[in-house]
Structure 1
């Protein structure tokens, strides 16, 4: 299958089979060219304040100088970043990379235990943390390699008088900053001042250098750091930009960045790809505040948005969203979890734009497959392997499966990680001798080269020997008008080995378990029917809104 590459015949016009991985030697060279070319254009905006490409260039150079000259960090040292989407984030990312160092993206919602594991595992010696999360750092910092803490507040780069007002409100009125003690910590603004306006020393940054340690797998066990090189990220940026390039207006795009930049999806698709095109990333600090998010959208002539299914579903169910002017929107990209047909169809109806599904993993920087942008309607596929990418389906013995059969999706391409940081055994489990990355996702391919995810290998439910895929059940139940969100999991069952349990958040308070079961009986074969129906006010989710099925499996069964 990998040699035939049937998907190439389905490629949209103007999309090349291969990309030039060597056009940019590093992420830093992409930034330099963008700053040169789009100098006076806005690059990032947050809370009404924007930074031009020239300002991003200047401030990130100051931060890089601080890290090199004041902290005396050496090439390859790790710097942890623990912030939501604020203007300081891209400045810190590019400052770290320009200094020849490695970014360790850290989820601000981490518990002390999770943070400590990541800091110890990565060996990070510096951390930049948003003040409202500094108490977590304070709790564990003594047991980590961290030598310098840099704190920042949401308003720090918003200018006068807005910045000080925002910071005052958060600290003293909303009381959103828990007390913490971090002797020796320095503020982000002070770090920039210490960096000064000196020219940045020439750092030899190579394609094979590790740009990011991107932690993954925390929902299934110990989080592992995927080693993503400059080459990996540049390759994926080139692949994605080749895919969307003909639809992009250089220097004019406004991308809604609601997914956090510490997540690989937003980092590559929003920050890097749209930087190459001279676009503006509109950073949403708290997308969970849906009414606030919708208000923000109403004030912007945005052209593109990325998100996960739960984010799109949340917007569609927030009053006022359907009143927004979508006349400039031309790209809506869903990934991170399966996009549900009901959500995609409603999105198209409300916005007039097809919600295009893409597929990837942290380990693939992240994009591996993408649907054509000119797709008329949602098609249920994760798309076609993007340029310079091979995909195949393998069985348990590593044999490539024939067309139409379900197997584990395996990926090969320049965006595939080096491996897991200091975990050669774990790396060997996912990258085989032929260089195929085993994704853990069960999929099938059609004759046109489109891939369809059937489910996560480990999420598959085995009912009396039959494979049941949660995605299929969720897709069916999501079409019920009374359902807001749904997740399906397998739970132990004496008779059938496993039984299907569905957990639902109601849109209609009158919805009953019997109605759900009756609806399923009309739409699903016997062994796929949910035996247990549970109602909740919300579903457990990861930092980017991916539903955590594992937590639902562990909760008690509710018999309808």
Structure 2
């Protein structure tokens, strides 16, 4: 096992000329990237950042954010990435929770930092140059990454069981929690993933996912581990421009989420083989609906599709081998290499094949706990098979088929109790996705005096003429009566978290309000 920053140092010394990062017009070699990270590490030390201190990165996808990750690790500290769309109160909460010694940001985000002072003390600031209304004193990032003459190389202090990062969850069930991951955790997860993806130093990976999103962050970490190249884009807002970059850079790996495949399905000019160099597509965060898989198989027929399932607390849980995706498209697959997944009932006992149970994960990819939150940590990290280990109780309900492949059923907290029956939202969503005009769907239970909870759905469609009544009629043809939504809201866009995932919590709030109005009419 190795500390993460040492991978960068190794490649900088051995293949320093090779491009590690492409962002817009900026191209950095391993040697250049390492030199900037080294200089920034010295600047952090000068700001009195000590071994084990936390340092927050509050930036969008840019080379400065990528360099900051490795500079913080070189300084012996712990990095925390915060989504640039985060509002002042949430930023303040995170600053209060992890008490960082420094904050690395962009000038355009300094006004949010100013507002956050109402909620938390602001640590030493290093900011990327740019226009800003803020008068807050800060060290310029451009100055901080200039390597000074006679500066000795920082010798990494610490070992691989030291904390490397805190990744804050989206907080869908309350205040965000800081997931603690050591260098060893990261190395174990990255080794499993790069192994099953058959990654090599020749891979060129394009990511539009935020670095503050665990999935996006690991594209950077795995790239540097491999000695490969990452093409980092800010977003998928202009997909055709992203595809032009992919062709120009000869991209071989493309991590996506279902939102992106839904956008691609609406584009009429994507023909088979339009990304000729693409070797693989990965998906996680939310399961790829079967129509999305079939679409990808048509437009990138030579690329292997890796459908995966994961969570911040362990990075990734399961993966579906590409050769099985046509045979078991609704499966989230099998356990990652060097990890174990099993299901338990409410009493902690084993679950028969075909029945739903809570997924438990054991392995070196499991987090150390939630920062500054022993109660929440104890609730999910419990004693395992061995007296010395802790296993992760995920709160996710899955079932396993006779071949050992797992299928996501739903979150324990999301199960809808309607008419005395328990309804997993995922089962209703799966049926909705079989309608040829439905692009995205989310199902939630909302309060109802007669039913207990009413099953409701929010959908986006490719057919402006499709009505809620037609969708409910379609569900009646394919679902048992007690599973049919009583209310469907057709909308232009589904609510999302900061990381771009569809938010069931926000959807439930909107649906509850709309359902009340529907009942009053």
TM-score bracket for this pair, using the shorter chain length: over 0.9
Separation of aligned partners in 2, 1:317 and 1:197: 56
**What is the match of residue 474 of structure 2?**
519
Q: Please say if residues 170 and 498 of structure 2, whose CA atoms lie closer than 8 Å, have aligned partners that are also in contact.
A: no
**What is the match of residue 387 of structure 2?**
none
Separation of aligned partners in 2, 1:393 and 1:131: 48
Partner of 1:43: helix, strand, or coil? strand
Q: Please say if residues 83 and 89 of structure 1, whose CA atoms lie closer than 8 Å, have aligned partners that are also in contact.
A: yes
- TM-score, L = length of structure 2: 0.93
Aligned residue among 336, 350, 360 for 2:299: 350
- TM-score, L = length of structure 1: 0.86
The reply on whether 1:299 has 2:252 as its aligned counterpart is no
375 and 132 in structure 1: CA distance in 2 versus 1, 3 angstrom threshold: farther
Aligned residue among 467, 473, 480 for 2:435: 480
Please show how residues 72-471 of structure 1 align to structure 2 within 5 Å: 72-141=48-117, 143-152=119-128, 179-193=132-146, 198-245=151-198, 248=199, 250-268=200-218, 270-322=219-271, 325-352=274-301, 353-364=303-314, 366-375=315-324, 377=326, 379-434=329-384, 435-471=390-426
48 and 317 in structure 1: CA distance in 2 versus 1, 3 angstrom threshold: farther
Separation of aligned partners in 2, 1:276 and 1:37: 13
Partner of 1:539: helix, strand, or coil? coil
Partner of 1:226: helix, strand, or coil? strand
Q: Please say if residues 74 and 154 of structure 2, whose CA atoms lie closer than 8 Å, have aligned partners that are also in contact.
A: no
Separation of aligned partners in 2, 1:194 and 1:33: 19
Partner of 2:146: helix, strand, or coil? helix
Q: Please say if residues 466 and 527 of structure 1, whose CA atoms lie closer than 8 Å, have aligned partners that are also in contact.
A: yes
Separation of aligned partners in 2, 1:323 and 1:402: 42
Separation of aligned partners in 2, 1:522 and 1:308: 29
Separation of aligned partners in 1, 2:190 and 2:152: 28
Q: What is the aligned length?
A: 508
**What is the match of residue 11 of structure 2?**
34
Deviation for aligned residue 1:243: 1.6
Deviation per CA, 1:139-160: give whole Å up to 9, x if none: 123653433111115xxxxxxx
Partner of 1:105: helix, strand, or coil? strand
Q: Please say if residues 102 and 125 of structure 2, whose CA atoms lie closer than 8 Å, have aligned partners that are also in contact.
A: yes
Q: Please say if residues 407 and 442 of structure 1, whose CA atoms lie closer than 8 Å, have aligned partners that are also in contact.
A: yes
Structure 1 unpaired stretches of 5+: 1-21, 154-166, 172-178
Deviation for aligned residue 1:397: 2.0
Separation of aligned partners in 2, 1:466 and 1:355: 36
Separation of aligned partners in 1, 2:77 and 2:149: 19
Separation of aligned partners in 2, 1:535 and 1:142: 39
Aligned Cα RMSD in Å? 2.0
**What is the match of residue 17 of structure 1?**
none
Partner of 1:128: helix, strand, or coil? strand
196 and 445 in structure 1: CA distance in 2 versus 1, 3 angstrom threshold: farther
Separation of aligned partners in 2, 1:417 and 1:56: 28
Q: Please say if residues 161 and 182 of structure 2, whose CA atoms lie closer than 8 Å, have aligned partners that are also in contact.
A: yes
Deviation per CA, 1:372-419: give whole Å up to 9, x if none: 133352621111111221111112222222322211101011111111
Deviation per CA, 1:101-140: give whole Å up to 9, x if none: 0001111111111000001100012111122222111112
Deviation for aligned residue 1:279: 1.5
481 and 195 in structure 1: CA distance in 2 versus 1, 3 angstrom threshold: farther
Separation of aligned partners in 2, 1:235 and 1:229: 10
Separation of aligned partners in 2, 1:217 and 1:457: 18
Separation of aligned partners in 1, 2:430 and 2:237: 23
Deviation for aligned residue 1:471: 1.8
Separation of aligned partners in 1, 2:402 and 2:339: 18
Structure 2 unpaired stretches of 5+: 385-389
Higher relative contact order (CA 8 A, sep 6+): 1
Q: Please say if residues 129 and 149 of structure 1, whose CA atoms lie closer than 8 Å, have aligned partners that are also in contact.
A: yes
Deviation per CA, 1:164-214: give whole Å up to 9, x if none: xxx6xxx6xxxxxxx532421122101112766622232322111110011
Please show how residues 481-560 of structure 1 align to structure 2 within 5 Å: 481-555=436-510, 556-558=513-515, 559=518
403 and 308 in structure 1: CA distance in 2 versus 1, 3 angstrom threshold: same
